[in-house]
Amino acid sequence: MTSLLDNLNEPQLAAVTLPAEHALILAGAGSGKTRVLTTRIAWLISTSQVSPQGILAVTFTNKAAKEMQTRLAAMLPINVKSLWIGTFHGLCNRLLRAHYRDAGLPQLFQILDSADQLSSVKRLMKALNVDDEKFPPREICQFINAQKEQGLRASTVEAWDSRAKQKVEIYAAYETQCQREGVVDFAELLLRSYELLTRNEPLLRHYQERFRHILVDEFQDTNKLQYRWLKLLAGQHAALFCVGDDDQSIYAFRGADVGNMRDFEREFNVKHMIRLEQNYRSHGNILDAANAIIRNNPHRLGKNLWTHAGSGEPIRVYEAYADSDEARWIVEEVKSLVRDGHTRAEIALLYRSNAQSRALEHALFNAGIPYRVYGGLRFFERAEIKHALAYLRLIANPNDDTAFARVVNFPVRGIGARSLEALQDAAKATNSSLHAAITQVSGKGGASLAAFAQLIHQLSEAAHLPLPELIDHVLDLSGLHTHYQNEKEGQERLANLDELINAAASFIAEEGTASEEGELSADLAAFLSHASLEAGEHQAGEGDDALQLMTVHSAKGLEFNMVFISGLEEGLFPHENAVNDIKNGSDGLEEERRLMYVAVTRARQRLYLSIAQSRMLHGQTRYNPPSRFLDEIPRELLKWLTPRVEKQHFAVSPAPTFHGKSHVTAQRTGHIGNPSKDSGFSIGMNVHHTKFGPGVIVNAEGSGTDARVQVNFKAAGVKWLALAIAKLEAA
């Protein structure tokens, strides 16, 4: 027992040994939250307060769930795979598999990942003759998922106009199609699980009595329905132990609701709120900067990160004239770090928007520096893998129309668009799956479709084989191997298909599942679920030591010795949409500030911040002032690697003739126009307006009495003001 608690600091120990009551643990970045969660579970079990079967632990990624299992296996002499530890999707999948009849699902229902869902919606819209330009399929998918995450079925969604009504009708048809095919999407896993428990009182009571301790990781990332699901399972008796950081809530665009933390505190009358503030990752100056930035968000529960690691180095700031200069500087700094003995894998380059990467990648490529863009295609999302999985899904369920549509003519087997249209019409007329409607299609197309059905039948007859052998058999008989062997650049795809066989063998070895001879392989169904749930998880890339490039969103949960945050300009970081939202009372700026907090706290030892006075984005050169986040960092923490660039004055000089606008641009040196008529204002100058408040001059144009300036106001956004009448003064 003592050894379990030996390495905990005082707040961690207090959290781990809390009584069986509701608790909210505010775990700052790098404060050891996973240690607290796993030790809490081990302590509850080892002190006989709960059996392993009485624990439910929820997290957001399979990687995090496996990390918890690995740590628990080292702490306790139990089979950790029997524990209910997993993601929301994974646990709901497990629940629905166990009670598929009550849930109204076939035993071997399949899971649609995001790409499969999009394909399914496209197919449906084509059958319904819906204009995909007026109603983009991706928009429909987002609409459907958003409704499900709010707990709404098509029958309960209110449509206020004709466009919304059309979306609801597509949603209703999509529900019918998925039910007929025996498939569920990710959002459906949670919604159907919630509905199963709400309408089945004995089943709900069973799980409420079973799970006496419910532990939740990354609680700030939960959406409304996930929170309702947790409350439902907790009932009146379970203790909810929620660990999260409201300062790292950055997924509102996915439906995450940071307000769930305050709602939980209020609705469950939480008496135990513990703050984990000691950071084991970063040096003090980095943490002080992060604390100073996030302190400007008014709606937070509040904490202050600190460390025993010392202050460390100051934060380096570089101001470039253009994004190309910024990129060249980063390249030179990376070279210097590598010369000093740092590996490129220890260095991360973060940016707010993917559009920023072009100049960075161009400079890295020219300098011959290996780099990797984090978040490329994952293993289970690669086309050749999805083709192979589609054949496997048809073995498990021939009525899976999404899988059918993907491979019915891949590799090419002479089934054209006209034959597929005839098949879709037949399926619609008989209200059946595409596979079941094959017998209704005649002619040459019908014969080709019948041959494909025979192929699926042949593959199904081999379902008794061990899973790796089954996959190898499918790759050969389907023609996928031959197809990629004949493809000009097919060797990499063949290697990926071979890796799929390895993945299946590893899955069987790790999960220990086994099916009886002569039955449809339970291993196959489990592996297909595994593949769908793993799609979207990051797969570590192979190859040389490489610099890591990624968006700030992608960086959450990661840490690096050296971190560059580029593009710290108003309108870029914070994003212009968030800046403009201030006028509407939106908390978009607060989320941008949380993003900056996440970015800063990725750094262990050294942090670089960079600015470009001009930046090419979306085909336009933009001149934005430095980000307000720089102003929020105490000056004593910063080391400017460039002198603050001298502000460039502009003046108004009369032109002999004036036609339209005469644009005045900032120059590197000197004044523009006649010094005697200098207005006294300069591009980059801090100014104040009686109505709009503080701002920064970013551009100027015109001459004489027509002169005007463009000002980026912190509260009012970007505005053009005529100098002759503007109530503008230097700040």
Query: DSSP per residue over 544-572, as a string?
Result: S--EEEEEHHHHTT--EEEEEE---BTBB
pLDDT of residue 432: 92
Catalytic residue selected from 281, 602, 628, 708: 602
Q: Which has more confidence, 709 or 125?
A: 125
- Rounded average pLDDT over 554-578: 91
Catalytic residue selected from 17, 34, 198, 665: 34
Q: Does 461 score more than 50 pLDDT?
A: yes
Element (H, E) at 65: helix 62-75
Q: Does 647 score more than 70 pLDDT?
A: no
pLDDT of residue 488: 60
pLDDT band at 521 (very low <50, low <70, confident <90, very high): low
Determine which of 132-141, 143-152, 439-448, 505-514 has the lowest per-residue pLDDT on average.
505-514
- Rounded average pLDDT over 716-724: 71
Sign of CA dihedral 577, 579, 583, 588: positive
pLDDT band at 583 (very low <50, low <70, confident <90, very high): very low
729 catalytic residue (yes or no): no
d(CA 267, CA 261): 10
- Rounded average pLDDT over 115-131: 92
pLDDT tens string 352-406: 987 677 778 878 877 888 888 886 545 777 789 899 999 999 999 999 999 999 9
pLDDT of residue 716: 67
Cα–Cα–Cα angle for 142, 143, 148, rounded to 5 degrees: 95
Residue 401's contacts (CB-CB under 8 Å, 6 or more residues apart) are 120, 123, 177, 181, 427, 433, 434, 435
Q: Does 35 score more than 90 pLDDT?
A: yes
pLDDT band at 323 (very low <50, low <70, confident <90, very high): confident
Determine which of 160-174, 185-199, 353-367 has the lowest per-residue pLDDT on average.
353-367
21 catalytic residue (yes or no): no
- Rounded average pLDDT over 278-302: 94
602 catalytic residue (yes or no): yes
pLDDT of residue 535: 62
Q: Structure tokens of 331?
A: 């390249």
Q: Does 269 score more than 50 pLDDT?
A: yes
Determine which of 407-421, 534-548, 558-572 has the lowest per-residue pLDDT on average.
534-548
pLDDT band at 145 (very low <50, low <70, confident <90, very high): very high
488 catalytic residue (yes or no): no
- Rounded average pLDDT over 524-530: 87
Q: Does 506 score more than 90 pLDDT?
A: no
> pTM of the prediction?
0.75
d(CA 222, CA 257): 6
- Rounded average pLDDT over 621-642: 90
Sign of CA dihedral 2, 4, 9, 12: negative
Catalytic residue selected from 12, 33, 35, 122: 33
Catalytic residue selected from 149, 188, 217, 590: 217
pLDDT of residue 164: 92
User: What percent of the chain clears pLDDT 70, i.e. is strictly above it?
Assistant: 87
Catalytic residue selected from 248, 307, 402, 601: 248
Catalytic residue selected from 185, 188, 218, 257: 218
Mean pLDDT of the chain: 85
Distances (CA, A) of 212 to 45, 83, 241, 567, 625: 12, 13, 11, 48, 54
Burial class (CB in 10 A: 0-12, 13-18, 19+), 265: middle
